[in-house]
Chain A
């Protein structure tokens, strides 16, 4: 395809070989050619998260979102079906809808007044027949649909590739874990308010890598909460449980409490009146895993990360409350991301829990959260060091590869794990990151038979 960008195959194959040995060239984070190749070969082909069904419950409800650089108008049509269009008038390309969300039956372009309905049909042209005549076929000028839209557990994804595999195939074994996080209660989840949005000067892979496969960072990055007595002193505290490598570059860490912490309640401290719902909606294996889990954190390839921890914010004697948070690291350049972060809670949770869960999220994540504040600062430092000659050297003359060696050829999978995927019996492991980068470089290599030199 003409719009695909081919990166130098030899270099990419070298990257793949390094990743398999637990090494990642530092320039992969900021190289501009890599960035363009990612936009063309990854984000334009994969499934991208757009929003949650609870954000557009009624016909006419809409939200505006992005697939990297493509503006998306996501709405529920008159038939209750979810539709996604390129948010751009078909006449001169003006951004059609500039609001973040709302309720409408039609969208009128401010440039020349072309009007579209919820089905995307062009239903109004100012001075229509007098200026265009009979030869103008309005049906040819509907809003352009995002080629594929589908949802799972209320999570709506879109793909710019009409040949994209079905969403359920793309999610693969991640569905089993999404069921635990998002499909455990009878009515599913709801988004509270609107997502928060902010900008961080970093590369999207750094944050995806951090959420996807890096519980190891918590002991140091978030040590302030240990010093305050909010988090346990044990430097291994985020290692307990399983790191699960899933297909298609996805991964999840199912963290448990240390064996000597009997005070951790089951099901992440979710209210006991909800437990019968869990039993109704989850398999025996899912229930068994969920009961023991304290933290679920991971990444759905490429840039949809999530965290569902138990956290207290007020002080060491505050009870720990769990929450569910999803976020998209939308690249807006090689070293700039726009974070969109949704707080979700079970629709049928007691109101008191919903409120406590929201406060737990606000206090620990989001740009003001005591945990997230430090992540963002550190991610900018990773990007900052990556522009120089040594870091950018493609021949690796300076041996500029970064260390993803943790557990390589040393930690063996736990074959007794009841869930799908390759589960390792510790979360201090770079297995997910290695699989993420291998899938990433494979995606860039997919068009390897396209002649090089396009850049």
Chain B
């Protein structure tokens, strides 16, 4: 089993853990691992993220909602192109999603109506989650997790593939012995989304 501590050590040996600044999350540094920290295991976290992705791809949205903490914040700010030297290319004031658990539940309920045409017939997605990096100063019951996402999407009989990619910054917390998603900030890498709509979750 690869523990969170272990992955941090591995990262440190790979070039001295030189990733000190995150490209997308408002330049928030990825802090160094400290000996003696307790944390969720890396395997637990990956299993949580992969399970979540599978539920979304299988359209088991009600089960997906159960992974979300009641106080969830789920946001996707807008990416922009900035000039060299003007560092922050995320505009946090405007988003594509700015949701809580209540509004996400409403979205899921909408999919269960007979007339949510964006998903009727439903579109098919594959969520690829990779490069999972655990924020190493997390406690035993909470971790901040960075991951890459690639979503490929097929719509009806159209042969073109719609896709989206970027990075997510999640806070995952152990609540009543279950892992829950407490917050997710999604940083798309495109400044002009090449998807006709976001009737999917990321």
| Chain A residues packing against B (C-beta within 8 Å) | 97-104, 192-201, 220-221, 223-225, 227-228, 313-315, 338, 343, 358-359, 362-363, 366-368, 370, 372-374, 376-378, 380
Contact pick for A220, options B78, B115, B194, B197, CB 8 Å: B115
Residues 176-198 of chain B, each 1 if its beta carbon lies under 8 Å from chain A, else 0: 00000000000000011111111
Enumerate chain A residues within 8 angstroms of B96, measured Cβ to Cβ: 196, 362, 366-368
The CB with the most chain A CB atoms within 10 A, among B94, B115, B193, is that of B94
B72-94 at interface with A (beta carbon < 8 Å): 76, 78, 80-83, 86, 91-94
Minimum CB–CB distance for A238 against chain B, Å: 15
Select one of B80, B93, B118 contacting A374, CB under 8 A: B118
Contact pick for B81, options A98, A374, A380, CB 8 Å? A98
A169 vs chain B, min Cβ distance (A): 33
> Which of A197, A224, A377 is the one whose CB lies under 8 Å from B192?
A197
Please judge, given known A-B contacts A197-B193, A376-B196, A378-B117, whether A343 and B82 are in contact too, CB under 8 Å.
no
Q: Name the residue of chain A whose CB is nearest to the CB of B82.
A: A99
B115 lies within 8 A of A367 (CB) = no
- Knowing A228-B109, A314-B106 are in contact, say whether A200-B196 is a contact too (CB < 8 A): yes
* B10 sits at the interface (CB 8 A): no
Residue pairs across A and B with Cβ atoms less than 8 A apart, 25 shown, are A98-B83, A99-B83, A100-B191, A102-B82, A104-B83, A194-B78, A194-B94, A198-B195, A223-B114, A227-B113, A228-B110, A314-B100, A343-B94, A358-B98, A362-B96, A362-B97, A367-B96, A367-B197, A368-B197, A368-B198, A373-B116, A373-B197, A374-B118, A377-B197, A380-B196
List the 3 closest pairs (A to B, CB-CB), nearest first. A193-B94, A193-B93, A368-B198
Instruction: Give the distance in Å from the alpha carbon of A199 to the alpha carbon of B195 in the complex.
Output: 6
Does B107 count as interface, using CB distance less than 8 angstroms? Answer: yes
Interface centre among A197, A221, A315, A377 (most CB of B within 10 A): A377
Q: Is the CB of A376 within 8 A of B110?
A: no
Interface band, chain B: 35 or more
Taking the closest CB of chain A, its distance from the CB of B173, in whole angstroms, is 23
* Minimum CB distance partner of A100 in chain B: B80
List B contacts of A102 (CB < 8 A).
82-83, 86
Decide if B199 is an interface residue (CB 8 Å cutoff). Answer: yes
Query: Are B106 and A374 touching (Cβ within 8 A)?
Result: no
Q: How far apart are A318's CB and chain B's nearest CB, in angstroms?
A: 9
Scan residues 103-141 of chain B and give those whose CB is less than 8 A from a CB of chain A.
Answer: 103, 106-107, 109-110, 113-118
Taking CB atoms, residues of chain A closer than 8 Å to B82 are 99-102
The contact of A314 among B91, B103, B115, B118, by CB within 8 Å, is B103
With contacts A367-B196, A376-B197, A377-B196 taken as known, whether A315 is within 8 angstroms of B86 at the C-beta atoms is: no
Which residue of the partner chain, among A99, A198, A201, contacts B193 with CB atoms under 8 Å? A198
How close is A61's CB to chain B, nearest CB, in angstroms? 12
With both chains docked as a complex, state the minimum distance between the C-beta of B61 and any C-beta of chain A, in angstroms. 14
B102 contacts A by Cβ under 8 Å: yes
Contact assessment for A100 and B81 in the assembled complex, using a CB-CB cutoff below 8 Å: yes
Tell me the complex Cα distance, A374–B194, Å. 16
B190, chain A: closest CB distance, angstroms: 9
Chain B residues contacting A199 (CB-CB under 8 Å) are: 192-196
Q: Which A residues are in CB contact (< 8 Å) with B191?
A: 100, 197
Report chain B residues within 8 Å CB of A227.
113-115
Distance in angstroms from A338 CB to nearest chain B CB is 6
Are A362 and B98 closer than 8 Å at their CB atoms? yes
Residue B95 interfacial (CB < 8 Å): yes
Chain A: minimal CB distance from B70 (Å):
14
Q: Is the CB of A224 within 8 A of B195?
A: no
- For residue A377, which residues in chain B have a CB less than 8 angstroms away from its CB? 117-118, 155, 196-197, 199
